[in-house]
Amino acid sequence: MRAMKPRTKPITISEPVRFHDPLPEAVDVAVIGAGVIGICAALEMARRGLSVLVAEKGRVAGEQSSRNWGWIRQHGRDEAELPVMMEATRLWEEHDRATGGKTGFTRGGIMYLASSREKLDERAQWLEVAERHGLDTHLLEKDDLERLFNRHSNTARGRDWAGAAFTPSDARAEPWQAVPALAELAQGEGVSIRENCAARAISSAGGKVTGIMTEDGPVRCEQVVVAAGAWSSLFLQRHGISIPQLSVRSTVSRTAPMAEVFAGNGADETLAFRRRADGGYTISISNFHDLYLGPDAFRHFFKWLPVAKEHWHETRLKLSSPAHWPDHWFTKRRWAEDEASPFEFCRVLEPEPEMNRQEALRDEFAQRFPALGKPELLNSWAGMIDAMPDVVPIVDRVPALDGLILATGMSGHGFGIGPGFGKIIAQMAAGQTVAHDMTRFRFSRFSDGSKIVPGPAI
């Protein structure tokens, strides 16, 4: 395996293959997808004595796991997610030590800034959730912000925020180095990882998992974890299993090194920013994304209505995605095990970033921190966020097929919570008691008549 080099951009299909372990004849568990969820689950399963193969059609962390903001956020979580996220934060710290600091884990805090007193009152409502779980979230008033931010100039104060809700124990990491570092850790503890190896299908007999068929051949196993991000729904459709998952495009940019105004992460109603280890910032328009219309978008329209009504003004509709994407109009929904699958025609989702708003993004940053001026944007990229109609994932066994565990629809929150759900998946696979209430994340909630209750969207 090649040594990792410092990176300045997300992982793409043009990268050399790093992980190419021999394809085993049999394992206890096969994991489909080498993003943060799949890698963390594999690591935790290996630590419980299970033999594991991670099959990745493209590259480890090639999609959203290296394209996200890099936030490790407890703040503002859905209350059902919060205990999992609090454990995930502790696990990130442990993993960073185990990798010799390669993940870039840093506790700098996360704040949700408010441009008005009314918005600050809205932010304050979540403090009740934080208090119930013993989290260190508290309100900052306007004067507190002026002391906390290093504004560099009393004559160039920038945005006059009314205050913020702040969680000091929140953290950040460097996405495009963190997940490959965790993959190296998992591989060192016995996990087999094979890039450029698409899983085409799950094999079964008598309603039970018996293995997977990959493009490189079959692997016997009794359990399969599907953690395929934006591709999970398409993979499951081939097996007659339906979930109301869609994906949206979000664009992120990297600035040149600049003076530090805050060591952590922050967002107000429009702009999100994160201090990075290289001295620059990761910045994004926080309330804007694109939805590509396709068969699944229409099939699940009514399930998505509650969240669509709330966020319609933040979503731009596109008539069609690029060819071979999961919900493209002509992407195959059925294929045989001995023929090339859709996952081999598009090994990594690499959406083009939205460049029309880059000047607006620079302006938004400069308005908040005028002493720094407009940032130089060194590069921009986009990712496809796999989302569910209630903005929380499915992490559960699938009743239709004994031995199948599904972990998908992380809704933009997967990077931070990955180690937490990875541990839960491992407990499921090992037959151990799961330490968290998983009712909110059950597979059946979209078919058992339950009301869809959207959680926080950021």
Instruction: Indicate the pLDDT class of residue 311, thresholds 50, 70 and 90.
Output: low
When pLDDT is averaged across residues 16-40 and rounded to a whole number, the result is: 98
Q: How many CA atoms lie within 13 A of 185 on its CB side?
A: 27
Task: Identify the H or E element spanning 98.
Answer: helix 82-98
Q: What local confidence, expressed as pLDDT, does residue 7 receive?
A: 66
Q: What local confidence, expressed as pLDDT, does residue 157 receive?
A: 57
**Whole-angstrom distance, CA of residue 297 vs CA of residue 300:** 6
Write out pLDDT tens, residues 430-444.
999 999 999 999 999
When pLDDT is averaged across residues 99-109 and rounded to a whole number, the result is: 97
Residue with tokens 């008598």: 206
For 383, phi then psi, to 5°, come to -140, 160
Residue 8 has pLDDT above 90, yes or no: no
Residue 155 has pLDDT above 50, yes or no: no
**Chain-centre distance for alpha carbon 231:** 13
Residue 151 has pLDDT above 70, yes or no: no
**Chain-centre distance for alpha carbon 329:** 25
Lowest model confidence (mean pLDDT) among 7-21, 168-182, 391-405 = 7-21
When pLDDT is averaged across residues 141-148 and rounded to a whole number, the result is: 86
Q: What are the residues whose beta carbons fall under 8 Å from the beta carbon of 339, sequence distance 6 or more?
A: none
Residue 156 has pLDDT above 50, yes or no: no
Q: At 386, is the secondary structure helix, strand, or coil? A: strand
Instruction: Indicate the pLDDT class of residue 26, thresholds 50, 70 and 90.
Output: very high
DSSP track, 221-265 = -SEEEE--GGGHHHHHHTTT-----EEEEEEEEEEPP---S-SSE
Q: Please compute Rg for the chain using Cα positions.
A: 21
Classify residue 402 by its DSSP letter: B
Token pair, residue 138, equals 């508290």
449 CB burial (10 A radius; 0-12, 13-18, 19+):
exposed
Q: What local confidence, expressed as pLDDT, does residue 304 receive?
A: 87
Dihedral class, residue 421 (left if φ above 0, else alpha if ψ from -120 to 50, else beta) = alpha
Residue 123 has pLDDT above 60, yes or no: yes
When pLDDT is averaged across residues 64-76 and rounded to a whole number, the result is: 97
DSSP track, 9-39 = S---TTSPP--BPPPPSB-SEEEE--SHHHH
When pLDDT is averaged across residues 4-20 and rounded to a whole number, the result is: 84
**Whole-angstrom distance, CA of residue 229 vs CA of residue 386:** 6
Q: What local confidence, expressed as pLDDT, does residue 153 receive?
A: 41
When pLDDT is averaged across residues 8-28 and rounded to a whole number, the result is: 95
| Domain 1-103+172-244+387-458: top CATH class | alpha beta
pTM (2 decimals)? Answer: 0.95
**Chain-centre distance for alpha carbon 245:** 14
Write out pLDDT tens, residues 113-122.
999 999 999 9
**Whole-angstrom distance, CA of residue 405 vs CA of residue 433:** 15
Q: What local confidence, expressed as pLDDT, does residue 146 receive?
A: 81
The DSSP bridge partners found for residue 125 are: none
Share of the chain above pLDDT 90, in %: 86
Q: What local confidence, expressed as pLDDT, does residue 136 receive?
A: 98
Token pair, residue 427, equals 């407990």
Residue 280 has pLDDT above 90, yes or no: yes
**Whole-angstrom distance, CA of residue 87 vs CA of residue 417:** 9
Residue 316 has pLDDT above 80, yes or no: yes
Mean pLDDT of the chain: 93
Q: What local confidence, expressed as pLDDT, does residue 245 receive?
A: 97
* H-only helix segments in 99-174: 117-124, 127-132, 142-148
Residue 61 has pLDDT above 50, yes or no: yes
**Whole-angstrom distance, CA of residue 215 vs CA of residue 200:** 7
Share of the chain above pLDDT 70, in %: 96
Q: What local confidence, expressed as pLDDT, does residue 308 receive?
A: 74
Residue 191 has pLDDT above 60, yes or no: yes
Write out pLDDT tens, residues 212-270.
999 999 999 999 999 999 999 999 999 999 999 999 999 999 999 999 989 999 999 99
When pLDDT is averaged across residues 446-458 and rounded to a whole number, the result is: 87
**Whole-angstrom distance, CA of residue 259 vs CA of residue 141:** 24
**Neighbour tally for 153: CB within 10 Å:** 11
**Whole-angstrom distance, CA of residue 35 vs CA of residue 54:** 10
